[in-house]
Structure 1
């Protein structure tokens, strides 16, 4: 049975490029309006490669930011799932947490409207906000005092990098770099693990059950 807790240290991710039918066309349709904002259309001179590449880089960055920034119903659904994952990890119900994360895919479905990018993006955004410590209810130095739970975990390599970036306020904007380095599913697992570790630190600092902290803070 799948479990977030591992018996041995996690192996480095083997990044596999999976080609989905129509994926390139779908992505291009999403990026084309962003390129148009940069003044790049199908009539743009193809010989001006540096300009084209710079515009494409900016458009892809905007596309990824939107993809990993859920809003409205997508955000509320992702928050509900992350609350369950965090509470399950805190209760040492790590198999249940793994099943929740394994239910995610790249696209929304009727059975699971939350995607991997929704969950990872929201977790990274929350960690960044908590690191900035903009409200009085967040314990001072929360991220600096957070360490991963003892033992070996799925996504722990990504989680360590995520915590380091979150402490500098750079986790969310580094999502593409994290995916290239660790792979999408490892980033989602790692973001959830880093979020759970931070909530548990918050709970210990305030004497509040971790599930209650998750319910109040993850939204």
Structure 2
């Protein structure tokens, strides 16, 4: 019988990382503040192992950094840094979209349309959490449909870093509706196998998301 302990540890580390991520993005944990293992084990009532895994996740998302002799510190997330990441992400997703328009299977196109219709319903009801989950699936499907392993890896790495900010900008109902309208243009281009149109629509979509995030930082 397989032990459940590793699974439990993973759940603990994931939820801890999510909570710390929320506090960092909201500014409750300030730039330069140390994420102390001992203090966090007491706060969350767990051993050091899930805390270390959670901190590793925060470092991977560029929300924190390991500094020699000082430990794990929260990074200073500036508007300039956010702009740089969104700029890179828009180019990577645009390239994924261009390839996807040319390479998507019939099954992938059907799945993309199905997912978009579901997201339209979620946007109308204002279900932000479900919409955010479906949004991740939507973009992941675009990456996969590029059928280029290295490009998919690059897209996933950068999306992981931007995830906290992209998630926060979808909490507003009006932004969900705009996002869904932007998805409509992306899906239409992909169904029509129009690579240039898909590329352009994805750049606009990412720039729209960037503008929303940066506006909240002002």
Same fold (TM over 0.5): no
> More helix per residue: 1 or 2?
2
Considering Cα pairs closer than 8 Å and 6+ residues apart, tell me whether 1 or 2 has the greater RCO: 1
How high is the TM-score relative to the length of structure 1?
0.31
